[in-house]
Amino acid sequence: MDMLEENKSLSQWQQELLTADNFGVALRAGRNPEFTTSRISEEKRQVIIKLLAQGVAIGKIAEATNASVHTVLAVRRVNIGDIATEKLALSNTLRDAATVGAAELVERLANPRERDSVRDIAVAVGIAVEKSELLSGAPTARIATDKEITINDVRNYLDSLSQAEVTVIEAKEDAPALAEASS
Instruction: Summarize pLDDT for 15-60 with one digit per residue, the tens.
Output: 554 554 444 544 455 544 556 677 889 999 899 999 998 888 999 9
Residue 8 has pLDDT above 60, yes or no: no
Helix (H) or strand (E) holding 175: helix 175-182
Helices (H), the chain: 3-6, 12-19, 23-28, 42-53, 58-65, 69-78, 80-110, 118-136, 151-160, 175-182
Residue 64 has pLDDT above 80, yes or no: yes
Average pLDDT of the chain to the nearest whole number: 76
108-141 pLDDT per residue, tens: 888 877 767 788 888 888 888 888 888 777 777 7
d(CA 175, CA 101): 77
Q: Taking the model in full, what pTM does it have?
A: 0.47
